[in-house]
Structure 1
Amino acid sequence: MVRTAVHVVLLVLLIQSAHGQSAKKPLRVGVVGLVHSHVHGILNKAFKEKNQTDIDIVGIAEPNRELAERFAKQHGYSMSLVYPTVEEMLDKTKPEAVADFGPIVDHRKTVERCAPRGIHVMVEKPLATSFADAKQMETLAKKHNVQLLTNYETTWYGSNHKAYALANTEKAIGDLRKIVVHDGHQGPKEINVNKEFLDWLTDPATNGAGALFDFGCYGANLSTWLMHNQRPLSVMAVTQQIKPDIYPKVDDEGTIILTYPKTQTIIQASWNWPFARKDMEVYGQTGYVFTVDGTRMRIRLKDEANERPTEVAQSEAPATDPFAYYAKLIHGETKPDELTSLENNMIVMEILDAARQSAKTGKAVSLKQKL
């Protein structure tokens, strides 16, 4: 009998222990703004993904009531979650972290409101509209010891992480010589983004530029990562308005060239591709790695007569999605990822600022001196 009782007690303790491990609390997240179409990712996860335990949206700050109601019908959230201002949402819901889906120019304001409260911030790419704003955001994040992350779709591509491993960890293609990154689509109006998104995306004051910032940031982020956060020696950029009738205020075509001591990066950002694309070519002294999309790649190494296609798992990336990663990072369950990091994205902003200046003046901008 005693033995049986002991067994029962042990079984209960094991069940309680297992339950405690599985019953971790989701990250309490506040959503700042609904005018960036990437917001559908977090809304789908929070309100439509069954049994997800990563995040809990506790409040949404959005002054456009009509937009909030439209998305409430689409995603099934209660309008009781919606507040007209960021301050009221923070006061009433006390989130641990926020995800910003407002215009890029407002990212600084979000950090100014959240960092002093000890609230972590993840913004959609790019980090800011200027290097000056980014510097102020960095100062606040470090002063108040909060995470300030930048979310890129390409961070969650298994192919990019496999390419990095081949190039840097395994040294399978020799020293890097050239990186070429293609990003963009047919144009935001052409792919029918909603009006609220289009209005700020095509305004240089709220987005920083057009395709140059919207898609040039991806290449700057990936190049900085592949180059171990090395700042380029110089930045040269050329932009065009191929469709001024559609995008009268901003560029719709941009090419950026980054020079490093022994490597060159070419970033091709466009609202004029025939199809949407986010792919990359990484050339070393002895081989190359091409990413086709999130999982597909083409590789040719030394002494190989032909390139070979390969497919990699999404699990090569640091998490299944940015919000799962966000929760794990804040709860101390994973290590910081370099692509989302503040250190990387400060260099990205320095590159984008220089690219905008170069496109305006027609001259390369030297980055030899640390700003």
Structure 2
Amino acid sequence: MRVSFGKVIGTVLMALSVAPVHAAEKLKIGVVGLTHTHVHWIFDSEKQGEFEIVAIVEENKDLAQRYARQHNYSMDKVYDSMDAMFAAEDIEAITAFGTIYEHLEVVQKAAPKGVHVMVEKPLAINMEHALQMQELAEQHNIHLLTNYETTWYPSNHSAYEAVKSGEIGDIRKVIVRDGHKGPAKLGINSEFLDWLVDPEQNGGGAIVDFGCYGANLMTWLMEGKKPGSVTAFTQQLQRENNPKVDDEAIIILGYDNANAIVQGSWNWPIGRKDMEIYGETGAVYADNRYDYRLRHAEGYDDFTETKQTLPERKAPYHDPFHYFKAVINGDISVAPHDLSALQNNMIVVEILDAARKSAKTGKTVQLK
């Protein structure tokens, strides 16, 4: 079939006339910190061409140079401080890949300049920091998002849809398991390990590092409702590797008509991030990023089961940095209980504060 050149040009012009002007523009991102190894994610994502890393803030030049060789960026992009970066570059958004403690300073520097911020999970070291960050974000009208790996799992979104459609009835119990064999056993680089096992910089061990996932997912499933009670238990099963922090944590969240058990651990023999949701009439299992199961109850212990291996979610819902750009451009509106949302993650920090208090005192903490 022949297609006229005029018709092709007309179609292209029509497409251009309805496309948003900002669609072809690259978001200018500054990366603050390289000590969190999730930073490799943004360097790999940049290759898709939707945003540009225009500057990097990292005092440790040896670390910056190692990553420069790996990701092929110029050391001319690397600055010693956020102040120096802002003086030299036009930055629209910041992604923070330093310690959790440093998240507050990133927002303190970026918010007054109207620069949007995405931090790695969790939002903040404690509620004191979180409240300051929230106030700054609201005062200066910036987006302040939190990134979790599990936010981008298609299996979790299928589970959420099954719950919201009533496919398994009302939620009664959720079990979330996250973790690995422990950072020391994984052989991660010292720049990351040093602060992961430092209670001042990370806020704790596994209770923070992996307990935050379950708190985030449960707040999403409950549409922003806080648990009434938080009970937590921690252990040091690898005292030689983690002398200052816990490496085993169980957090129990109590709601009016449901409960959740969050198991964050640095003692799993095999790394995992999975979730089970039990309703009144069935259950769903997000076994990993792609594998999803749905069970409908029949009788006492019989059930029917369907299994799916899911494809990646469609852009921009497949990747944190493409999502960040879409939010900044106004293509996506973030609901308060969404996984990346500030309001959701304020509750996450409140849950983690209560969990640490419960583990320390041996008592259940009631949330207001």
* TM-score, L = length of structure 2: 0.93
The amino acid of 1:61's aligned partner reads V
The number of residue pairs the alignment matches comes to 357
The amino acid of 2:356's aligned partner reads R
Shift, 1:12, TM fit: 5.5
> 1:301 aligns to what SS in structure 2?
strand
Out of 108, 111, 118, the residue aligned to residue 107 of structure 2 is 111
Tell me what 2:30 maps to. 30
Tell me what 1:357 maps to. 357
> 2:145 aligns to what SS in structure 1?
strand
Tell me what 1:261 maps to. 256
Measure the CA separation in 2 of the matches of 1:161 and 1:204: 32
Tell me what 1:45 maps to. 45
Shift, 1:8, TM fit: 8.3
Tell me what 2:325 maps to. 327
Out of 277, 290, 295, the residue aligned to residue 295 of structure 1 is 290
Q: How does 1:267-306 map to 2 (within 5 A)?
A: 267-303=262-298, 305-306=303-304
Measure the CA separation in 2 of the matches of 1:290 and 1:12: 49
> 2:183 aligns to what SS in structure 1?
coil
Equivalent pair of 2:327/2:333 in contact (CA under 8 Å):
yes
The amino acid of 1:361's aligned partner reads T
Shift, 1:334, TM fit: 2.2
Tell me what 2:189 maps to. 194
Provide, for residues 149-208 of structure 1, a one-character-per-residue CA deviation record: whole Å limited to 9, x for no partner: 00000000000000000011x111111100000000000111111110000010000000
Measure the CA separation in 2 of the matches of 1:277 and 1:212: 15
Equivalent pair of 1:236/1:355 in contact (CA under 8 Å):
yes
Q: Is residue 140 of structure 2 the alignment partner of residue 157 of structure 1?
A: no
Shift, 1:336, TM fit: 1.8
Equivalent pair of 1:158/1:317 in contact (CA under 8 Å):
no
Sequence identity percentage: 49
> 1:283 aligns to what SS in structure 2?
strand
Moved over 3 A (4+): 7-23
Q: Is residue 303 of structure 2 the alignment partner of residue 308 of structure 1?
A: no
Shift, 1:298, TM fit: 1.8
Measure the CA separation in 2 of the matches of 1:57 and 1:320: 19
Measure the CA separation in 1 of the matches of 2:256 and 2:242: 36
The amino acid of 2:364's aligned partner reads A
Q: Is residue 126 of structure 2 the alignment partner of residue 130 of structure 1?
A: yes
Shift, 1:53, TM fit: 2.6
Measure the CA separation in 1 of the matches of 2:280 and 2:13: 56
Alpha-carbon distance change, 8 to 182 in structure 1, aligned in 2, over 3 angstroms: closer
Provide, for residues 292-343 of structure 1, a one-character-per-residue CA deviation record: whole Å limited to 9, x for no partner: 1111012102447333322222227861211111111111222326100001
> 2:340 aligns to what SS in structure 1?
coil
Shift, 1:44, TM fit: 1.6
Q: Is residue 58 of structure 2 the alignment partner of residue 62 of structure 1?
A: yes
Measure the CA separation in 1 of the matches of 2:283 and 2:188: 35
The amino acid of 1:58's aligned partner reads V
Q: Is residue 237 of structure 2 the alignment partner of residue 242 of structure 1?
A: yes
Tell me what 1:180 maps to. 175
Out of 77, 80, 93, the residue aligned to residue 84 of structure 1 is 80
Equivalent pair of 1:296/1:312 in contact (CA under 8 Å):
yes
Alpha-carbon distance change, 185 to 317 in structure 1, aligned in 2, over 3 angstroms: farther
* Structure 2: gaps of 5 or more residues: none
